[in-house]
Amino acid sequence: MFSCKRQDKIGDGALLYVKASLQPTIFKTDKINNIDSVFLHLRVGSNKIVLGLVYRPPAQNISSDRNLQDQITEISNNFDSAICGDFNLPVNSWGNPLNSRFGHDLYNSLLDSSLKQQVQQRTRGDNILDLVLSTNDDLILNVNIGPEFSNSDHKIVSNINLQVYKDC
């Protein structure tokens, strides 16, 4: 279990459970104000993957969004990676216009990047807020959207299975 949570607020934060057989280790990143994240190196044979989980609160300032954008770009340009989380970029279908006045630069940079967005169903109300981004289509086998979580208004995003090839 790996986590990042705010000391000054109940809720928010990021928590990742990863099988020990994937040999998870912390991948050090710069702290971004008001954004909670956890990034891990996963190793299977000679394959290294970076798995990240992000919580971006709504209505972030441009500086925090640019820092997050730079961090995601740096990781995805240098590693096979999957970056998941609640980005609070309300859109009813990936690629459609954003339903918010905040986050346009971050949203557009994700659209323009080489990352593949794997969540195709709405995860909160009429919007997709929870994203699974990967450096290639073959990295993520499947993503399931379930019912709303018991103490949340978000649907459960589960069974994010990474396609990892073991050495022979």
Q: Work out the burial of residue 78: count CB atoms within 10 Å of its CB; fewer than 13 is exposed, 13-18 middle, 19 or more buried.
A: exposed
> Can you tell me whether residue 17 is helix, strand or coil?
coil
Per-residue pLDDT for 11 more than 60?
no
Q: pLDDT tens, 85-142?
A: 999 999 989 899 988 888 999 999 999 898 999 888 888 888 888 899 999 887 887 8
Tokens standing for residue 122: 């709405």
Q: Is residue 167 part of a domain?
A: no
- Domain enclosing residue 104, as ranges: 2-162
- Across-strand partners of 140? 162
For residue 107, give the CATH number of its domain. 3.60.10.10
- Report the domain count for the chain: 1
Q: Is residue 148 part of a domain?
A: yes
The residue whose two tokens read 């290294």 is 48
pTM: 0.82
Q: Is residue 91 part of a domain?
A: yes
Q: Is residue 31 part of a domain?
A: yes
